A and B are shown apart, each in its own frame.
Chain A
Amino acid sequence: MGLEYLFQPSHVERLLYGLLQTIEIAFLSVFLSAIFGTVFGVIMTSKNMLIKILCRFYLETIRIVPILVLLFVFYFGFATWFNWQLSSFWVCIFVFTLWGTAEMGDLVRASITSIDQHQRDSAYAVGLNHVQALIYVIFPQSLKRVTPGALNLFTRMIKTSSLAVLIGMVEVLKVGQQIIENSLLTVPSASLWIYGFIFILYFLICYPLSLLAAHLEKVWENA
């Protein structure tokens, strides 16, 4: 039966390798977003009006423009405007990091401001300055509040990285399409099975992450 041909070890291997690319994008993007986002988040707590407006502008722009549109803008834009031929992998990283920084920044800002004023006052009262208070008192507590949101973002990035195939990247969907093309004669219904399989693969990755995020949120709710 054609299904055996379809699910040859080499095919599965290539599909999983493709999935790995997807996860790699998400992982790298989240990592970078975490760093930049934290910085951005701290900046967002500033009282300076101009800074607040600029930050808001950045945040709202990222929220309003669809990710796929951003991918295209930078994929074509970098080439047209700066003559940079960036691979789709790096365009993805760039756009996702822009996205992630904005979201993480907002999460960080929210968690910092939600830390009880008393906690901050106590930190100052024992002689810590702003930066020290931030590092030793506020961050550890913020970490717990940010983590479920960050996990959630990670899961969403994994799903969104499926869009990379549309700017030419060879990730799991592309591999799937290649297998389907090669199998057109032997297994006509390949697309049904392959896409179905990829569908399940995504679910198997994202669902545990969602559960983890929900679990952590419940466990740390009282922190």
Chain B
Amino acid sequence: MFSLDWHYIHSVLPQFYAATLMTLKISSIGIVLSILLGLICSVISTYQVRILNKIVKIYIEVSRNTPLLIQLFFLYYGLPKIGIKLDGFTCGVIGLTFLGGSYMAEAFRAGLQSVAQGQIDSARSVGLNAVQVFQYVVFPQALSLSIPAIGANCLFLIKESSILSAIAVVELLFVTKDLIGMDYKTTEALFLLILAYLIILLPVSALTSYLEYRSRKVSHGT
């Protein structure tokens, strides 16, 4: 049952390779945009910017309490009905960003609020204005405090990209389903699928752990 057809595996490697790149590509764009969105949201919410504050709060609750799949279906199948036709890739990026943004916002917010008040006081005491205090003291410290959560979110978003297969984005799961449907080499295809994800995610996981270790070393003095 578990002997693999290596010849077949070899023949489909190019497709898996391309799919891996697609997974990486769409995840990376999603991650970068999520980080930007999350950063903006967390600053708005920590500094309690009027009106925007409420919008951010609603956004985060909606994003965290609805499945990605529904959001994708809505974008991919629903929007064309009012004239907005977006291809799978774009819908995927929007979906990942919408979802990821709220998770990143939470990570940054926790980091921002963990910066000790004493650090802020002493920054103000040397004459720095509010923006400078944020730029030179609060943000750098918040960033290193947020890194574990951000790393975990990146892993999460890469995994969620598998759902994009449902709207015809030619990433890993899509290719796997396709090949199983055509060639019936289920075991080989699933083997490559898992392998591909391990290759992508294990390094990311290791990198996150390392960054967490490094940042803990620097910020752990009194």
Contact = CB atoms under 8 A, between A and B. Distances in A.
In the complex they form, do A and B come into direct contact, defined as C-beta atoms under 8 angstroms apart?
yes
A166 B174 CA distance: 11
B190 A173 contact: no
Interface stretch (B77-85, B87-95, B131-139): B77-85
Given A68-B162, A72-B176, A81-B1, A173 B69 contact: yes
A198 B65 CA distance: 12
A64 B70 contact: no
Contact of B187 (A69, A81, A199): A81
B81 A199 contact: no
B69 A191 contact: no
Given A69-B162, A69-B173, A196-B78, A64 B197 contact: yes
Contacts of A192: 74, 78-79, 81-82
B193 interface: yes
B177 A64 contact: no
A66 B162 contact: yes
B66 interface: yes
Contact of B65 (A66, A67, A195, A202): A202
Chain A, interface SS category: helix
Contact of A191 (B66, B78, B159, B173): B78
Contacts, number: 106
Contacts of A64: 155, 197-198, 201-202, 205
A76 interface: yes
A200 to B, nearest CB: 8
Given A166-B166, A202-B70, A210-B64, A188 B81 contact: yes
Nearest to B73: A195
A67 to B, nearest CB: 8
Interface stretch (A90-98, A132-140, A154-162): A154-162
Contacts of A69: 162, 172-173, 193-194, 197
Interface residues on A, range: 35 or more
A206 interface: yes
Contacts of B163: 68, 163
Contacts of A46: none
Nearest to A67: B159
A119 interface: no
B78 A202 contact: no
Interface string B113-129: 00000000000000000
Interface centre among B62, B162, B202 (most CB of A within 10 A): B162
16 contacts: A65-B159, A65-B197, A66-B173, A66-B197, A72-B173, A76-B186, A80-B186, A81-B187, A166-B165, A191-B73, A192-B74, A195-B73, A196-B78, A198-B70, A206-B65, A210-B64
5 closest A-B pairs by CB: A206-B65, A66-B159, A189-B81, A192-B78, A162-B67
